[in-house]
Structure 1
Amino acid sequence: MKSVRASHILVPNQKDAQGIMDRLDKGEDFAALAKRFSKCPSKSKGGDLGWFAKGQMVKPFEDACFNGKTGDVVLVQTEFGYHVIKITGQK
Protein backbone atom coordinates (compact mmCIF):
# COMPACT_ATOMS: atom_id res chain seq x y z
CA MET A 1 0.00 0.00 0.00
CA LYS A 2 1.46 3.32 -1.06
CA SER A 3 -1.14 5.82 0.11
CA VAL A 4 -4.15 6.20 2.35
CA ARG A 5 -7.11 8.52 2.37
CA ALA A 6 -8.52 9.48 5.74
CA SER A 7 -10.76 11.91 7.54
CA HIS A 8 -10.26 12.94 11.13
CA ILE A 9 -11.74 14.86 14.02
CA LEU A 10 -9.13 16.58 16.18
CA VAL A 11 -10.05 17.33 19.78
CA PRO A 12 -7.95 18.43 22.77
CA ASN A 13 -8.59 15.56 25.17
CA GLN A 14 -9.42 11.88 25.44
CA LYS A 15 -12.83 12.51 27.01
CA ASP A 16 -13.98 14.51 23.97
CA ALA A 17 -12.54 11.89 21.61
CA GLN A 18 -14.31 9.06 23.40
CA GLY A 19 -17.57 11.04 23.31
CA ILE A 20 -17.24 11.33 19.53
CA MET A 21 -16.45 7.61 19.22
CA ASP A 22 -19.63 6.89 21.22
CA ARG A 23 -21.69 9.12 18.92
CA LEU A 24 -20.26 7.37 15.86
CA ASP A 25 -21.14 3.99 17.42
CA LYS A 26 -24.73 5.22 17.67
CA GLY A 27 -24.75 6.01 13.94
CA GLU A 28 -24.05 9.74 13.81
CA ASP A 29 -22.46 11.08 10.63
CA PHE A 30 -18.66 11.41 10.73
CA ALA A 31 -18.50 14.50 8.50
CA ALA A 32 -21.19 16.29 10.50
CA LEU A 33 -19.34 15.59 13.75
CA ALA A 34 -16.07 16.79 12.21
CA LYS A 35 -17.66 20.06 11.11
CA ARG A 36 -19.07 20.58 14.59
CA PHE A 37 -16.24 19.46 16.88
CA SER A 38 -12.88 19.28 15.10
CA LYS A 39 -10.16 21.82 15.91
CA CYS A 40 -8.45 21.21 12.55
CA PRO A 41 -9.04 23.38 9.46
CA SER A 42 -10.04 20.17 7.64
CA LYS A 43 -13.34 20.40 9.52
CA SER A 44 -14.70 22.56 6.70
CA LYS A 45 -14.38 19.47 4.46
CA GLY A 46 -15.95 17.12 6.99
CA GLY A 47 -12.49 16.20 8.25
CA ASP A 48 -11.27 14.91 4.87
CA LEU A 49 -7.46 15.02 4.61
CA GLY A 50 -7.30 13.55 1.12
CA TRP A 51 -4.67 11.03 0.00
CA PHE A 52 -1.26 10.92 1.68
CA ALA A 53 1.84 8.75 1.57
CA LYS A 54 4.09 7.56 4.37
CA GLY A 55 6.17 10.38 5.77
CA GLN A 56 3.51 13.08 5.37
CA MET A 57 1.78 12.76 8.75
CA VAL A 58 3.11 12.47 12.29
CA LYS A 59 4.12 8.87 13.06
CA PRO A 60 1.28 7.78 15.41
CA PHE A 61 -1.31 9.14 12.97
CA GLU A 62 0.43 7.53 9.99
CA ASP A 63 0.79 4.19 11.78
CA ALA A 64 -2.91 4.10 12.63
CA CYS A 65 -3.86 4.80 9.02
CA PHE A 66 -1.44 2.40 7.36
CA ASN A 67 -2.08 -0.44 9.83
CA GLY A 68 -5.86 -0.27 9.53
CA LYS A 69 -8.22 -1.02 6.69
CA THR A 70 -10.74 1.01 4.74
CA GLY A 71 -13.78 1.69 6.91
CA ASP A 72 -11.94 1.46 10.23
CA VAL A 73 -12.44 4.23 12.79
CA VAL A 74 -9.56 4.52 15.24
CA LEU A 75 -8.53 6.81 18.06
CA VAL A 76 -4.93 7.98 18.36
CA GLN A 77 -3.06 10.61 20.37
CA THR A 78 -0.37 12.85 18.86
CA GLU A 79 1.32 16.05 19.97
CA PHE A 80 -1.63 17.91 18.40
CA GLY A 81 -4.29 16.23 20.51
CA TYR A 82 -6.62 13.27 20.04
CA HIS A 83 -7.65 12.20 16.56
CA VAL A 84 -10.71 10.16 15.70
CA ILE A 85 -9.63 8.83 12.31
CA LYS A 86 -11.79 7.24 9.64
CA ILE A 87 -9.81 5.41 6.96
CA THR A 88 -11.66 6.07 3.71
CA GLY A 89 -9.35 4.56 1.11
CA GLN A 90 -6.14 2.66 0.46
CA LYS A 91 -4.10 2.15 -2.70
Structure 2
Amino acid sequence: MFGGIFQPTHLILILVVVLIIYGPGKLPDAAKAMGKALRDMRHSFSEDDEKKEAKPNSEELKVANNAAASVQNAPQNTNLQ
Protein backbone atom coordinates (compact mmCIF):
# COMPACT_ATOMS: atom_id res chain seq x y z
CA MET A 1 0.00 0.00 0.00
CA PHE A 2 2.76 2.45 0.88
CA GLY A 3 5.25 1.06 -1.62
CA GLY A 4 7.84 -0.01 0.94
CA ILE A 5 7.92 3.32 2.73
CA PHE A 6 7.12 1.81 6.12
CA GLN A 7 9.41 -0.95 7.24
CA PRO A 8 9.30 -2.69 10.63
CA THR A 9 12.09 -0.49 11.95
CA HIS A 10 10.10 2.63 11.07
CA LEU A 11 7.06 1.33 12.91
CA ILE A 12 9.17 0.51 15.99
CA LEU A 13 10.66 4.01 15.90
CA ILE A 14 7.18 5.56 15.72
CA LEU A 15 6.06 3.42 18.66
CA VAL A 16 9.06 4.53 20.73
CA VAL A 17 8.40 8.21 19.95
CA VAL A 18 4.73 7.83 20.92
CA LEU A 19 5.76 6.08 24.13
CA ILE A 20 8.14 8.93 24.98
CA ILE A 21 5.52 11.60 24.25
CA TYR A 22 2.60 10.03 26.09
CA GLY A 23 4.46 7.96 28.65
CA PRO A 24 3.56 4.43 29.69
CA GLY A 25 0.72 5.59 31.95
CA LYS A 26 -1.20 7.52 29.31
CA LEU A 27 -0.54 5.14 26.41
CA PRO A 28 -3.63 2.94 27.06
CA ASP A 29 -5.83 6.04 27.24
CA ALA A 30 -4.37 7.38 24.00
CA ALA A 31 -4.92 4.03 22.27
CA LYS A 32 -8.48 3.90 23.59
CA ALA A 33 -9.19 7.42 22.28
CA MET A 34 -7.68 6.52 18.90
CA GLY A 35 -9.83 3.39 18.67
CA LYS A 36 -12.97 5.33 19.56
CA ALA A 37 -12.18 7.98 16.94
CA LEU A 38 -11.67 5.33 14.25
CA ARG A 39 -14.89 3.55 15.26
CA ASP A 40 -16.87 6.80 15.11
CA MET A 41 -15.36 7.64 11.72
CA ARG A 42 -16.29 4.22 10.28
CA HIS A 43 -19.79 4.55 11.72
CA SER A 44 -20.30 7.96 10.12
CA PHE A 45 -19.05 6.67 6.75
CA SER A 46 -21.41 3.70 6.88
CA GLU A 47 -24.33 6.01 7.75
CA ASP A 48 -23.49 8.19 4.74
CA ASP A 49 -23.43 5.13 2.48
CA GLU A 50 -26.80 3.95 3.81
CA LYS A 51 -28.32 7.39 3.20
CA LYS A 52 -27.02 7.45 -0.37
CA GLU A 53 -28.44 3.99 -1.08
CA ALA A 54 -31.81 4.71 0.51
CA LYS A 55 -32.45 8.10 -1.07
CA PRO A 56 -32.57 8.21 -4.88
CA ASN A 57 -30.90 11.08 -6.65
CA SER A 58 -33.28 13.82 -7.84
CA GLU A 59 -31.63 13.78 -11.28
CA GLU A 60 -32.26 10.03 -11.55
CA LEU A 61 -35.91 10.58 -10.64
CA LYS A 62 -36.31 13.22 -13.37
CA VAL A 63 -34.82 10.90 -16.00
CA ALA A 64 -37.03 8.00 -14.88
CA ASN A 65 -40.16 10.17 -14.88
CA ASN A 66 -39.38 11.51 -18.36
CA ALA A 67 -38.84 7.99 -19.67
CA ALA A 68 -42.11 6.79 -18.14
CA ALA A 69 -44.00 9.76 -19.58
CA SER A 70 -42.60 9.17 -23.06
CA VAL A 71 -43.65 5.51 -22.91
CA GLN A 72 -47.17 6.43 -21.79
CA ASN A 73 -47.52 9.11 -24.48
CA ALA A 74 -46.13 6.95 -27.29
CA PRO A 75 -48.63 6.10 -30.04
CA GLN A 76 -50.07 2.62 -29.75
CA ASN A 77 -49.66 0.37 -32.79
CA THR A 78 -52.88 -1.66 -32.96
CA ASN A 79 -52.14 -3.21 -36.36
CA LEU A 80 -49.95 -5.99 -35.01
CA GLN A 81 -50.10 -9.16 -37.05
TM-score by structure 2 length? 0.26
Greater relative contact order: 1 or 2 (C-alpha under 8 angstroms, separation 6 or more)? 1
Structure number with larger C-alpha Rg: 2
**Structure with more helix by fraction:** 2
User: If each structure's strand is expressed as a fraction of its own residues, which one has the higher value?
Assistant: 1
